[in-house]
Chains A and B, each alone.
Chain A
Amino acid sequence: MSPAALEDAALLERVGKGDEAALEVLYQRYGGACFSLARRIIDDPQLAEDVVQQVFLATWQGTGYDPSRGAVSTWLLSVTHHKAVDSVRREGNRRKRLASEQALLEVAATGLGPADETWQRLRADRTREALRLLPAEQREVLLLAYYGGYTQREIADMTGLPLGTVKSRTLAAMRRLRENLGSIA
């Protein structure tokens, strides 16, 4: 676990005791990453802002974080993704046009606070490299699900693949990514 992750756990504990300043630090640290993720999925800055607000409201209310499930940053991004996908499914016409694979593989890393930039850049570089190593058909279903916000059934309809194939390719992609990401945790 990175030094920042340890700090985050302490910050979240303070948030649980009603420390607003600690929540602000978490927002300064991860609000940008959450907003970027929401905007990558939702084609409406206001809705993306709503999503980020809901994420930090949940953090303030102390709902949902389980330390055994990983770092605070992982949890915040997971909640952001869940709420962003919920949002685009409610308002289908707000779904962002999916970026090309090439664009995703070339974009700059999302910025965090200066102290975390090096760690974040390493994570993004490793993730990008791990994605490149996936077979194209695995990468396709993964990106349609994660950044497109589509269910596996919708992906099967869109691609003409059997649902079972979408599921097995997704699982294979997730396992291979985990192996390729190696010790980055």
Chain B
Amino acid sequence: MTGSHERWAELAAGHALDALEPAEEAELMDHLEECETCRAALRDHEFVAAQLASLADEEAEAPPPWSAMRTGIIGDLAERRAARSRRPVLLGAAAAAAVVVAATVTAVSLGSGTSVRDQAVSACRAQAACHVVQLSRGSQERAVVIVHDGTARMVPTDMSAPTAGHVYALWQLPRDGKPTLLAEPLSQTGSAATPLALPYDNTAAFAISVEPAGAQATAPTTVVAVGTAAT
């Protein structure tokens, strides 16, 4: 192996351990596209990393039962598939549904948003290039983020009012780099449609955090719900 390949080998080992800086990751990804030697080395490193996982002990805690995980994994997609099969019908109702959402979204409390949430989700799924991201805490959905036309709107599902002196904030988490604040504070009804900080395709997740009131947050303090952006 050449000296320069030794450097790529070091990066591949670091990548398998998730221990590289973002710039190194990007550099390695570019190189891997054209280097089978390094791809093979990476496969070996990833195998070793997976063996290390076998030493994680049981911590005396059972994993969450499937029944608790299922909704967060299957539920959303099952709904999406059903919506897709209903799409020809919903297309006609989409505009009306959107109007209903817009009219009622201002009238619900933070803790009773399920029907508004359902309407917002249905309206989104009837539109092209509209994404629903479920934000959950554990297996419990807390809110959804509706992403459409370069904007994101948070609609609460089950969120209590923040404690005194605190507010909720909505964050966009890029695939690489630091979270960006999209909206703060979030009102009792969620947020208005806010321009995304970067394209949806480059988004890893959205998150809601609790922040001290009165000062604009620069990084999430306490994340209370997070949802992965599916592409």
Contact = CB atoms under 8 A, between A and B. Distances in A.
Interface centre among B19, B64, B231 (most CB of A within 10 A): B19
Contacts of B18: 81-82, 85-86, 145, 149
Given A110-B56, A127-B52, A128-B55, A142 B17 contact: yes
B52 A146 contact: yes
A152 to B, nearest CB: 5
A124 interface: yes
Interface string A93-112: 00000000001110111110
Interface string A147-185: 101111101000000000001101100110110010011
Interface stretch (B66-74, B89-97, B149-157, B186-194): B66-74
Given A45-B61, A90-B223, 11 more contacts: A32-B62, A40-B59, A50-B136, A57-B72, A68-B43, A74-B46, A152-B14, A152-B20, A174-B13, A178-B47, A185-B47
B173 interface: yes
Contact of B74 (A20, A50, A110): A20
B139 interface: yes
A54 interface: yes
Interface centre among A34, A54, A184 (most CB of B within 10 A): A54
Given A23-B73, A149-B18, A178-B44, A74 B57 contact: no
B22 to A, nearest CB: 9
A33 B53 CA distance: 8
Contact of A174 (B48, B57, B61, B231): B48
A124 B66 contact: no
B14 A78 contact: no
Contacts of B13: 167, 170-171, 174-175
A177 B50 contact: no
Given A36-B59, A40-B56, A53 B220 contact: no
A13 interface: no
A128 to B, nearest CB: 6
A175 B16 CA distance: 12
Interface residues of B, number: 54
Which 9 pairs, one residue from A and one from B, show the smallest C-beta to C-beta distance?
A: A35-B63, A107-B57, A74-B50, A145-B19, A40-B56, A77-B53, A145-B17, A36-B56, A124-B54
Contacts of A111: 58
Contacts of A147: 52, 56
A137 interface: no
Given A123-B51, A174-B48, A33 B77 contact: no
B147 interface: no
A35 B44 CA distance: 24
B58 A152 contact: no
Contacts of B47: 70, 74, 178, 181, 185
Nearest to B179: A90
A24 interface: yes
Contacts of A104: 55
Interface centre among B43, B54, B70 (most CB of A within 10 A): B54
A78 B77 contact: no
B16 A174 contact: yes
B223 A60 contact: no
A64 B18 CA distance: 16
B58 A70 contact: no
Contacts of B17: 142, 145-146, 170, 174
A50 B48 CA distance: 25
Contacts of B81: 18
Interface string B6-19: 10011101101111
A170 B72 contact: no
A37 interface: yes
A91 B48 contact: no
16 contacts: A20-B70, A28-B66, A32-B58, A40-B57, A50-B137, A53-B69, A56-B73, A57-B230, A70-B46, A78-B16, A110-B57, A110-B58, A145-B17, A145-B19, A171-B13, A178-B45
